[in-house]
Amino acid sequence: MDELGFNEKDRILFWADNSAETLAIANGCLELGVPIIDADIDNPQELLDAMQEFKPTILVMQPDLALDPSQMPER
C-alpha cells in the first residue's frame, strides 16, 4: 500500500466478502494508518451512504458484487 502512495489522509471503502485478499489489504491499510470503512455486501444502500458520507479515496469491491447502475437504490 505504501508503494502505491497511500497514507493516513486516504480513506478506503470495502464492499467485499471476508477473504484472505481483503484481510491483506485491510492489514496494509492499518499498518499505514489509512482509515478503512466496511459496507455490508447485502445492502447496496449502505454502500451508497458510505460513499456519500466518507468520500473514500478508493473503493475495494469484489468483482462479482458489481451492480448494474439500474439496480442501485434510489437516492
12-60 tens-digit pLDDT:
999 898 889 889 988 988 888 889 999 998 888 888 899 889 989 888 8
What residues make up the domain containing 50?
2-62
Q: What is the pLDDT of residue 74?
A: 58
CA 20, 22, 23: angle at the middle one, nearest 5? 65
The three three-digit cell numbers of residue 68, written as one number = 448494474
Q: CA 26, CA 21: separation in Å to the nearest integer?
A: 9
Q: Is 46 domain-assigned?
A: yes
Q: Is 23 domain-assigned?
A: yes
Residue 23: give its domain's CATH number.
Answer: 3.40.50.980
Q: What is the pLDDT of residue 3?
A: 74
DSSP state string for 4-21 = GT--TT--EEEES---HH
Tell me the residue type at 29.
C
What is the domain count for the chain?
Answer: 1
Query: Residue 13 pairs with which residues in a beta bridge?
Result: 37, 59
The one-character DSSP state at 44 is: H
pTM attached to this predicted model: 0.74
Q: Is 71 domain-assigned?
A: no
Q: Is 44 domain-assigned?
A: yes
